[in-house]
Structure 1
Amino acid sequence: MWKRIISITFLLCLFSTTAFAHTATVQTGGESKYKAVRLTPEIYNAANSDLSDLLIKDSKGENVPYFINSGFHTDREGRETYPMELINSYTKDNSFYFDYKLAAAMERDTVATSIEVATDSMNFAKAVDVYGSYDNLNWDFVQNDKLYIIDDKSKLIIELNKPQKYTYYRFKLSNNLEKLSFNAVNLIYSTKVSEKNYFIESLIPTFHIEEKDKTTLIKIDGLKNLRLYDVTIDTDSMFKRIVSAPLGSEKEIYNLSLNGISYNDTTLPLDRQISQDETYVITIVNNDDKPINIKGVTVCYYADEMVFEGKAGESYTIDFGADATKTAPVYDIERYKDEILKGKIDEAAISAISYDSEKEKPSEVDSKVIFNIVVIGIAVLLGGLILFHLRRNKNSI
């Protein structure tokens, strides 16, 4: 009897965890060690909202470690140049001095990260002490460095150890037998900013219109679990109205043509909203005006990539939608993903998606509800069998 109970329980558990598994076929190419495949809306719709149920498998059915990448970094460099003018040069104690000040008065502090010089002198190498001053009276030592032009090698930039804000700068040379002079001296302020860029994709979803209580409801399908960037309405109507989305996003959009000039902004930012429902509703307030003619809708969303080690031409699949209670796998590759992202990564593509059940395309039944029903059913079955077993033992006594 107990063997039968265990067998039934095992089969029910097996059914509850595999009944709604889907697969996406991944095409790979390129010679790089690592591949990246971008997830599609269909995968988001049927997967867990946190993507914890995603698995990559090779042709042998073995799990392949991966990590989720949501974007890339770019470095943006800036450079500001502030010319200086020579105000004094003199010799003192066998040392030669050049004093400079900013050529133009500035309303704010001038920050410098380096000093750049230009000269017609050739074949020299000079040690330079750099000083700074705010008033041309009190001088602070900044640092020492070298300037040189020797054959085809040159160094005409003094990189400051830290940003400085002086108005005056002084060069002190141990001697100037070469009669070194500078055509130009410029303060340079260089910046380098690293920016995070996200993968943003667009889609043209299916939708239908419903007019209700002086409002137009645009009911958009296929956005479940997507992190939404914005939605744009395509229309040829002339209007200026308030449009809103769930969770408080609201904006006045318009499409106007006045005095021969067209003005339009029909895009509503969605600030990473995530739709938990199969249908996402946009509301346009019409008041007493006629509804506008909506020709189409374009949705932009934040996308993710699965990055994994793979071989060109080998078959890989993504399993998803199998278990709503599953926690995300933990792989070592996550620990060194920054190093991987610095190198070349081949782009892979999803060529086909296979749904285990047509009723689940995308998931129309909450798999958590199904799981809970199965668990309750198992509990009731086991309780009934145990009660039956106890009564039979009592009768036999």
Structure 2
Amino acid sequence: MGRLKWIRRTSVILLVMFLVGVCLGRDIIVAVSQDGQKEWQFSKGIELQGSGPYHALFLDEEVYAGAAENLRDLRIMNQKGQFVPYYIDSGYGEAKEQTQIYSSSLVHTAMKDGNTLLDYKITRVADNVDIQGNLLSVELPEGAFLKHIKVYGSYDGNQWELVEQSELYRTDQLVKNSIDLGSEYKYEYYRLSVLNNVEKLTFPSLQLTHNTQELEWLVHTKRGKPSFEVKQKDGFTQIIVNNENRLQITELQLFTESNNYTRSYELYDEQGVRIDTVGEQEIYQLDFKDAQISNRMITATDPIRSSFITIEINNRDDLPLDIAGFGIAYIVDKLVFEDKGEGPYKLLYGNTPATKPQYDIVNFKSHIEQEDVGLGKLSIQVKAQVPATTKEDPAWWLQQKLWFNGMIVVVSLVLIVLLIKKMNPSK
């Protein structure tokens, strides 16, 4: 009986040691798991302005540089450490565009001091409906030319008011046949004064266009000058624009010191995928005796967030352009949230594994836009403190992996032996 009692006590002691070891091992595993989780690396305080319930703030370059690519890791935190719901306003809403085109008839032509005066009467689309227009489109003569134009407007064809000054031209590759009036006018008559028209060029017809566009909200745009690199390869100039902050670039503008050139180009992202642009893919600068026409602006169809952008210019057999500088325009996102009196608030970002949150506030976006939304601003960036690397105290021998595993094996073997002996007491 004494031997059996000793066996039982020994079994209990070994079992307790085994359970303690398992618990210690579990603590080690949990600690490793917690150390592997990533926190938000950056934060910025939010300074509220205004007393309304809703507030907005524009992101800055530091946020774009530190946040995940699609801004999925943005969080607004209140003083209680709770996340505050928000939605992101990324620019234009759906645009509603309407166009009305008016024809005209040429009613009078005259020469005065070397200038040609051309008077057009706009044809109404309906009686008792005012004429409204903001763009003139002119039928151009054949051949290359450039003419300075003064545009006048009149309600009766007698009293004229100067509306705009512009140019019309045709070259081997370029054509400008429209004049933006800048504002909407209700004139029934328009006069084009073609200055210094010694060639007596004719402009047979004219159209008046009324373009209207209603936008739900306006985009917020900033401009900057990024770093770039220029390479020459097989008749092509490659301009590699650095966008490491992944800004939402909409426009790229070249500054050149070259004169009289036209070049076609292609735009590519960091993966080598072609990027669509607005209009003809050409940049040019043409110097005439008394005028210069140029277009060095590249406008993307959609905002570009690629970490670098390559502009590939086809020089054909001409010398490469002398690139003097570079500029960009980019869209800045706006965050909108509700202030429930739980400030101060701060913006957290820089957590790659974080997923994009889904908040109910986005469903009330149209209502919030009717409110008086205060525009706050972000303070300086604060980087999360990383604990200094220190020499850890030596772990207890049982917490070390080798000894812990060995202990489990020994306890398991002893328990097996004791159980066998208990099952066979005669031996």
Counterpart position of 2:287: 257
2:313 to 284, 287, 299: 284
Q: 1:78 to 1:218 in 2, by over 3 A?
A: closer
Counterpart residue identity of residue 301, structure 1: Y
> What's 2:84 paired with?
64
Gap change, CA 1:78 and 1:243, over 3 Å in 2 = closer
Count of residues paired in the alignment:
268
SS in 1 for 2:353: coil
What TM-score do the two structures reach when normalised by structure 2? 0.52
Partner of 1:333: 361
1:301 counterpart (303, 306, 330): 330
Structure 1 pair 32–387 and aligned structure 2 pair: CA distance change class (3 A): same
Contact 2:243 2:305 in 1 (8 A): no
Partner of 1:248: 274
Aligned counterpart, 1:22 = 42
* Equivalent residue for 2:73, pick from 34, 53, 58: 53
1:180-329 matches, within 5 Å, as 194-213=214-233, 214-238=235-259, 239-246=261-268, 247-249=273-275, 251-277=281-307, 279-310=308-339, 314-322=343-351, 324-329=352-357
C-alpha change, 1:304 and 1:13, in structure 2 (3 Å) is farther
Cα deviation 1:276-313 (Å, max 9, x = unaligned) = 43x33333333444433333322222322111123899
**Deviates most, 15-24 or 230-239:** 15-24
Q: CA deviation at 1:319?
A: 0.7
Instruction: Note closer, same or farther for the CA distance 1:357–1:342 as it changes in structure 2 (3 Å cut).
Output: same
8 A Cα contact 2:73 2:356, kept in partner = yes
The secondary structure found in structure 1 opposite 2:361 is: helix
Cα deviation for residue 314 of structure 1 reads 4.8
Name the amino acid aligned to 1:347: L
Report the CA distance shift for 1:233/1:29 in structure 2 as closer, same or farther (over 3 A): same
TM superposition shift of 1:391: 6.2
Q: 1:8 to 1:231 in 2, by over 3 A?
A: farther
CA distance in 1, matches of 2:310, 2:222: 18
Corresponding residue SS for 1:259: coil
> Is the CA contact (8 Å cut-off) linking 1:257 and 1:263 kept in structure 2?
yes
Q: Which residue of 2 aligns with 1:151?
A: none
How far did 1:64 drift? 1.5
Offset of residue 262 of structure 1: 1.0
SS of the residue corresponding to residue 369 of structure 2 reads helix
Provide the C-alpha distance between the structure 1 equivalents of 2:98 and 2:243, rounded to a whole number of angstroms. Answer: 42
The 1-side partners of 2:92 and 2:340 are apart by: 23
Query: How has the CA–CA distance of structure 1 residues 79 and 199 changed in structure 2, closer, same or farther, with 3 Å as cutoff?
Result: closer
Letter in 1 for 2:334: E
Q: Among the aligned pairs, what percent are the same residue?
A: 21
Seen in structure 2, the aligned counterparts of structure 1 residues 73 and 286 have a Cα distance that, compared at 3 Å, is closer
Kindly indicate whether the alpha-carbon contact (under 8 Å) linking 1:26 and 1:351 is maintained by their aligned counterparts in 2: yes
How much has 1:17 moved relative to structure 2?
Answer: 3.5
CA displacement at 1:201 relative to structure 2 = 1.5
Structure 1 counterpart SS, 2:299: strand
Structure 1 segments unaligned to the other structure (5+ residues):
81-105, 114-190, 359-382
Distance in 1 (CA, whole Å) between partners of 2:294 and 2:408 is: 76
Change (3 A) 1:79 1:216: closer
| 1:201 maps to amino acid | T
Contact 1:44 1:226 (C-alpha < 8 Å) held by counterparts? yes
**2: distance between equivalents of 1:265 and 1:308?**
41
DSSP-derived class of the 1:199 partner = coil
Gaps of 5+ in 2: 1-20, 101-122, 130-210, 387-400, 417-427
Q: Which secondary structure does the structure 2 equivalent of 1:18 belong to?
A: coil
Structure 2: which amino acid aligns with 1:208? F
Flag the 1:274–1:74 CA change in 2: closer, same or farther, 3 A.
closer
For residue 388 of structure 1, report the CA deviation from its aligned partner: 7.5
CA distance in 1, matches of 2:402, 2:243: 42
Cα pair 2:231 2:238 within 8 Å, conserved: yes
- The offset of 1:224, in angstroms, is 4.5
TM-score (norm 1): 0.56
